[in-house]
Amino acid sequence: MANPVVAIVGRPNVGKSTLFNRIVGERISIVEDVPGVTRDRIYSMSEWLDHHFHLIDTGGIAFDDHDELLDHIRYQAELAIDEADVIVFVVDATTGITSTDEEVAKMLYRSQKPVVLAVNKADNPERMGNIYEFYSLGFDEPIGVSSTHGLGIGDLLDAVIKHFPVKADEEYNEEVIRVSLIGRPNVGKSSLVNALLGEERVIVSEIAGTTRDAIDTMLTQDDQEFVIIDTAGMRKRGKVYESTEKYSVLRALRAIERSDVCLTIINAEEGIIEQDKRIAGYAHEAGRAAIIVVNKWDALEKDDKTFHQFTQKIRDEFLFLSYAPILFVSAKTTQRIQQILPKVQEVSDQHAMRIPTHVLNDLIQEATTVTPPPSDKGRRLRINYATQVSVKPPTFVLFVNDTELMHFSYQRYLENRIREAFPFEGTPIRIIVRNKSEN
């Protein structure tokens, strides 16, 4: 199940970005005492009491029919509200209720989403006494906070997580492999879905960014069930007026969270650009299995070196995905499309593979014999015990005499030895180093 989404909304200059930064714990949003300075929503992951959630910061909502920028900011906020599971409505204790607050409240009523009312700048007893007038906005009990001083943030987050959707049982059986197609707009994700299904189940358009939502489609091949999750294309941040592309980034991230395997789609005609690596990085960081799919391969003029040169280019550019297989396909001609789902099943199996503890320890012992661990100031790293603690992705814990003696290069060496002994094609693996005394 994807993590919940919390959107922070309100009129300009009530302290939304300061609250966002306080919850996230770092200064991500631009904070400046000028109304409307936060022009685009900013996403971040946050956590409270073991609840992980996406947090969206939005520009201040204002109502002026003659200001195109304010219209754009309001539209951005409406998109964030539509995407959110819970909304934090921020108002200002120093100014009281304004007509704009009332207009924002009406917008939130229409959304029918849970709303937590945060009365910001309530940093002294007099201002705390002002919060009661905000009951008239019609939401549950107002919560007095001070984003600048960190007051009341815990109470606010306690109220927020009460509204999170109850984590239901998995949407699909464990045997079902969930596959998401991720990539920039117009690389052919929807066309690939249609080619896999053999029918026009997803709207395909030459206009970049047609797919706005993540769409689930069931598919069975050779008695194996798949769920194909087509996602809206992710476009580079910073293009202010591409609101819906920004909106689709979060949906794609949530689709990745729901996936077992992510297909990173690259447009062969355009080649590899920086945003392709950024998108693939989302799946890698989430620990999902990965396949790189080069689409529109039929449209490329080729000679006997093209395939090898393109493959090498991918390996050079996607160093962090050295484990990912590469497929060259064409959704338009269906060239090699039939290779995709068998490869998905292969990497899904590797993603869920578990190594017996005694086999793992024999492997580590052999590796340390061939290349002894590093030493520092006369002390040598000693690996006492190794065990696999989880799958999806395969995660290993090494218990050592001193974690500070484990150099990243030696850890990489051990990872390479594990990969040499076991396929683990298409899946990241994680190694956690702990002192022997730790549980």
- Going by DSSP bridges, is the β-strand pair 5-9/86-92 parallel, antiparallel, or unpaired? parallel
- Is there a binding annotation on residue 186? yes
133-145: average pLDDT = 92
376 pLDDT more than 80: yes
- Is there a binding annotation on residue 223? no
151-170: average pLDDT = 84
201 pLDDT more than 60: no
Tokens of 439: 């549980």
- Is there a binding annotation on residue 236? no
289 pLDDT more than 90: yes
Q: Which residue has the higher pLDDT, 279 or 167?
A: 279
- Residue 66 pLDDT: 63
- Is there a binding annotation on residue 93? no
- Is there a binding annotation on residue 233? yes
3-state percent helix, strand, coil for the chain, nearest multiple of 5: 35, 25, 40
Q: Which of 178, 267, 273, 165 is nearest to 231 (CA)?
A: 178
- Is there a binding annotation on residue 11? yes
Q: What is the mean pLDDT of the chain?
A: 83
- Residue 68 pLDDT: 65
- Is there a binding annotation on residue 13? yes
pLDDT band at 240 (very low <50, low <70, confident <90, very high): very low
432 pLDDT more than 80: yes
44 pLDDT more than 80: no
209-223: average pLDDT = 67
pLDDT band at 311 (very low <50, low <70, confident <90, very high): very high
- Residue 69 pLDDT: 62
CA distance readout (Å), 402 to 177, 289, 364, 374: 39, 31, 17, 11
- Is there a binding annotation on residue 122? yes
- Residue 438 pLDDT: 52
pLDDT band at 258 (very low <50, low <70, confident <90, very high): confident
Domains in the chain: ranges and CATH: 5-161 (3.40.50.300), 177-351 (3.40.50.300), 357-435 (3.30.300.20)
- Is there a binding annotation on residue 344? no
- Residue 399 pLDDT: 96
- Residue 342 pLDDT: 94
